[in-house]
Amino acid sequence: IENMRDITEERWESPPELSIETGKLIEELPQKPAPRLIHSDNRLENVLFSDGGITGFLDWSFTRSGDAMYDLARAEYMLIDYDLKLAGRTEEKLDRFREALLEGYREENTVEGYESRRQVYRFITVLWIVAGFPKWSSDWSEERREEFRQELLERLEREKPV
């Protein structure tokens, strides 16, 4: 969180206020989660589909060892609340996608403790998007950049753990 805060303050012309108590967030996370290989970039363009299901993931350039539930929360956010929402899916469909993602995950893994970690991991995911925004949006028009900047700030506030 501190690294992303530093990157945001360095790259944004007018950085968003990121006053959040990291100590409180850390309390929600396991001290020593079982290390798992996580993808960390679960976006639609990195997913292979066949017969209505996910059959594989591409682009393992952000792979690392970490808490599998971080990858689950990140996949939920990036695939459903970001990509599919931007594609215009209804809230009803987004809810069905969320249920299917969790159900598929439950078939192979435990979700014990997921709800307590979910909001922190979602916030970290949005913070990651915010930190990278100046770089990946650099070729956009000023109007589009400002519109999306405002949306990112709203997302950051909405996902902020309480």
Count how many Cα atoms sit within 13 Å of the Cα of residue 105 in the half-sphere of its side chain. 18
Stated pTM of the model: 0.84
Rounded Cα–Cα distance for residues 16 and 158 (Å) = 14
Determine the pLDDT at residue 145: 92
Residue pair 71/108 in contact (Cβ under 8 Å)? The answer is no
For the cut 80, the answer to whether the pLDDT of residue 25 exceeds it is no
Summarize the confidence of residues 90-104 as an average pLDDT. 90
| 20 close to 119: Cβ distance less than 8 angstroms | no
Please give the C-alpha separations between residue 161 and each of 73, 85, 97, 157, in angstroms, as whole numbers.
14, 21, 23, 9
Q: Tell me what the pLDDT averaged over the chain comes to.
A: 87
For residue range 126-151, list pLDDT tens digits in order: 998 999 999 989 999 999 999 999 99
